[in-house]
């Protein structure tokens, strides 16, 4: 028997964080962020310079009604994530992408539902990228995931990765497509496609993960946007998660947490390469899915707020 363990979750996808955020490599501080909160999508470039991006964000979702086998209660969510990503040039056209991130979630004890008090996850991903020319960039990454950070066993380690391509069709229009995979996720294989359209000098429609958004740059420092995003991750529940509600099948259960966020926000550049952001709106489709048990905990829509710090070097 394994002794009790705590689990936590975050906001980027470590389960999905590194799976999808591998689609979000930084393009450098001189490039306007194509999504709110600076979550950029790597775009072909003539240069092959070292780029580094660090991000920390916190989000709070207000209490919402819980739906699970007739349970009548409410639950909120505190999420915090940190991440560091880089592109390391190794040749004229080749580079090595690497990304490390931690996602953490505090849900609190909820009577009658298999909701973990907290979840901590950690992921790393690396691979190879190739810039064919000024239009095409190809990238593939893969790496391990830790579904909890204490008393780790073999079943607490997973894997995820992504293969994708970016095509700069015109100076103002970029296409992206690929496949993300994570065997333990609720959706093991996810086709990915999107575009970025610089409609005007100060107006961009970015329809790419990890943060599709409509962005308007007010001036050199201030950006406002309407953005979709959220928290997505795979975690392993406590060894007594099910025992607390007299359903032991949930002990050490593998779950997928998802939480979609939609709302307006603003980003302000404090210094060159350093930005802070604020977003609010509604959390929708929030749920915990225990795929292997065919059980789902659902939460009603609730307001949310997110604070964000992004540094690009």
Predicted confidence (pLDDT) per residue in 11-24, tens digit: 333 333 333 333 33
In a domain, 211, yes or no: yes
Residue 156 lies in a domain: yes
Q: Is 1 a member of any domain?
A: no
Domain-located, residue 3: no
Domain count, the chain: 1
Domain of 307?
17-312
Note the pLDDT tens digit of each residue in 188-243.
998 889 999 999 999 999 988 767 899 999 999 999 999 998 889 999 999 999 99
Segment 241-281, tens digit of pLDDT: 999 999 999 999 999 999 999 999 999 999 988 999 999 99
Q: Is residue 293, in this structure, part of any structural domain at all?
A: yes
Residue 65 inside a domain? The answer is yes
Q: Are 104 and 81 in contact (CB under 8 A)?
A: yes
Q: Is the pLDDT of residue 290 over 60?
A: yes
For residue range 127-157, list pLDDT tens digits in order: 999 999 989 999 999 999 999 998 888 899 9
Alpha carbons 151 and 166: distance in angstroms, whole number: 40
With respect to residue 228, please indicate whether it lies within any of the assigned structural domains: yes
Domain assignment present for 11 = no
- CB-based burial, 159-189: b 16+ in 10 Å, e otherwise: ebbbbbebbbeeeeebbbbbebbbebbbbee
Which residue carries 């540094």 as its tokens?
A: 311
Residue the block writes with tokens 């990228």: 129
Q: Among residues of the chain, what percentage have pLDDT more than 70? A: 84
What DSSP line would sit under 90-151, residue for residue?
Answer: -SSSEEEEEEEEEEEEE----TTS---SEEEEEEEEEEEEEE-SSSEEEEEEEEEEES-SSS
- pLDDT band at 47, cuts 50/70/90? low
Distance (Å, whole) CA 204 – CA 202: 7
Residue 49, judged by CB atoms within 10 A of its CB (0-12, 13-18, 19+), counts as: exposed
CA distance 201 to 32: 10
Strand, helix or coil for residue 291: helix
């Amino acid at each position: 028997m394994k002794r009790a363990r705590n689990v936590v979750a975050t906001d980027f996808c470590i389960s999905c964080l590194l799976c999808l955020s591998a689609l979000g490599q930084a393009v450098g501080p001189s490039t306007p962020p194509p999504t709110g909160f600076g979550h950029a999508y790597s775009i072909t470039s003539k240069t092959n310079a070292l780029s580094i991006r660090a991000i920390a964000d916190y989000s709070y979702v207000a209490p919402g009604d819980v739906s699970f086998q007739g349970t009548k209660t409410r639950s909120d969510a505190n999420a915090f994530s940190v991440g560091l990503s880089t592109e390391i040039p190794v040749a004229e056209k080749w580079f090595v992408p690497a990304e490390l991130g931690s996602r953490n979630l505090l849900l609190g004890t909820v009577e009658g539902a298999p909701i973990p008090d907290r979840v901590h996850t950690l992921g790393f991903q690396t691979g190879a990228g190739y810039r064919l020319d000024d239009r095409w960039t190809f990238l593939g990454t893969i790496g391990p995931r830790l579904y909890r950070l204490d008393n780790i066993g073999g079943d607490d380690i997973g894997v995820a990765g992504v293969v994708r391509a970016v095509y700069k069709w015109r100076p103002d229009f970029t296409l992206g497509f690929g496949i993300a995979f994570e065997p333990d996720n609720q959706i093991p294989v996810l086709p990915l496609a999107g575009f970025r359209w610089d409609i005007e000098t100060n107006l961009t429609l970015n329809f790419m993960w990890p943060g599709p958004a409509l962005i308007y740059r007010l001036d050199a420092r201030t950006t406002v946007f309407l953005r979709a995003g959220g928290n997505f991750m795979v975690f392993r529940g406590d060894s007594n998660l099910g025992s607390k509600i007299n359903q032991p099948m949930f002990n050490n259960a593998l779950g997928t947490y998802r939480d979609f966020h939609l709302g307006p926000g603003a980003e302000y550049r404090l210094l060159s390469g350093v930005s802070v952001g604020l977003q609010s709106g509604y959390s929708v489709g929030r749920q915990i899915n225990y795929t292997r048990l065919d059980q789902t905990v659902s939460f009603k829509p609730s307001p949310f707020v997110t604070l964000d710090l992004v540094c690009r070097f």
